[in-house]
Structure 1
């Protein structure tokens, strides 16, 4: 079933405005992903599904050469504004092959909260494997299977495509649920070696910003992040 990656139009604008300081993006996912990426000085990194450019900007500020790919026209514009000349941003649908990117041309790939939106995850992971150099790394995050199970209140093993309402908007985003067995099976099946798996908690900065939200999120799983290596 086709996915809906679309943070187009007003939804893209909403995401850009909120991701700068939102609980999930700014205080859970982004700190965890950047920590997993580690020292990126001098590395060439692909930000696959770069959104509004927050990760690309952070990686560039840490000394990396970054190419961001994003399908949404609205988010491409926001990303280009955010990174300026510090990184390159291209419009590209990750449901299609990474044409134009040479084999082994990247030291690392970051893919934040995108995989569960893709219609053909194995093909995408194969393309990521192809464009990474041997020894290169992939840092990836997705929704936590347990959080999805609790939210939808059905089978933990569901592989349904579902719609999740975006708080504060009339919009929803569509994604496919994965249990842990499926997620790790697809990652290892693509040829990657698992180096780390983390269940990110909110950073202390969220406590200062919203103590109630911090107390809610620090005690339950929300996201899952992994660092993998291409042998």
Structure 2
């Protein structure tokens, strides 16, 4: 795998176009609005009075949605551009969101603090992701819930490729590798088992795995049939338990 570091990715996101940050949408982009948000909100249930960490919160759209539902929100984001925008929105709206600028992998989390930790489309962007995942679980109260979404490792090919071919092609599935993106540097392909086993090793108990499906009418309206016929994303829910002891 090409050696890409957390610092490389953070630097790339610092150069993310400002108009795209500002124009991301109050509910996120199409797939967040119609696929990821419904799955996340269904898993969370009523969040009034709940403490939630948005780990890798980006420009803060999900923080704002959850704060408006009555949750107490902390957002962690390493990129200067995204962090600055999220902070500016908080200064304008005063929703009570606390933002921290930090790399999830090196951040020292407050332990046993949050009812839920959400990492929405984050872990596949972090080269050194295992410390970040461990920090997310450490931040949870005992029995608290970790929700994270990623590009579906089995079906990562883009929607534009689907429009050309009408199917998703899978290649070199077992090879962990970095894949260049138009914006934000790289994401890292890892097999699905890598993520699931990492959750278990970090002290999480798997509870639910969701492959969100776009409604047919929405898919047709937005020319996005790929997300009706083949899942593009994966949402995983786990709860915190005692971490596994190392074998002697």
Normalised by the shorter chain, which TM-score bucket? 0.7 to 0.9
- Relative distance call for 1:172 and 1:69 in structure 2 (3 A) is closer
Count of residue pairs the alignment pairs up: 222
Q: 1:7 aligns with which of 1, 13, 26?
A: 13
Q: 1:72 aligns with which of 58, 76, 79?
A: 79
Q: TM-score, normalized by length of structure 1?
A: 0.86
* Equivalent residue number for residue 191 of structure 1: 203
The one-character-per-residue Cα deviations of 1:35-81 (angstroms, maximum 9, x if unpaired) are 22222111111100111111101111111100001111221122223
In structure 1, distance between residues paired with 2:130 and 2:184: 25
Q: TM-score, normalized by length of structure 2?
A: 0.80
In structure 2, distance between residues paired with 1:16 and 1:33: 23
Q: 2:229 aligns with which of 214, 219, 231?
A: 219
**Contiguous gaps of at least 5 residues in structure 2:** 158-166, 242-248
* Equivalent residue number for residue 212 of structure 2: 200
- Once superposed, which parts of structure 1, at least 4 consecutive aligned residues long, lie more than 4 Å away? 149-153
- Map 1:85-124 → 2, pairs under 5 A: 85-86=94-95, 87-96=97-106, 98-99=107-108, 101-124=109-132
- Bigger Cα displacement from structure 2, 183-192 vs 70-79: 70-79
* Equivalent residue number for residue 22 of structure 1: 29
The one-character-per-residue Cα deviations of 1:99-141 (angstroms, maximum 9, x if unpaired) are 2x42201111011000011122221122122211101111100
1:143 aligns with 2:181: no
* Equivalent residue number for residue 176 of structure 2: 159
- Bigger Cα displacement from structure 2, 72-81 vs 184-193: 72-81
User: How big is the shift at 1:30?
Assistant: 2.2
In structure 2, distance between residues paired with 1:43 and 1:33: 14
The one-character-per-residue Cα deviations of 1:175-213 (angstroms, maximum 9, x if unpaired) are 111111111011111110011100112257845xx6142
User: How big is the shift at 1:27?
Assistant: 2.0
Larger Rg: 1 or 2? 2
The one-character-per-residue Cα deviations of 1:75-95 (angstroms, maximum 9, x if unpaired) are 112222334321111211223
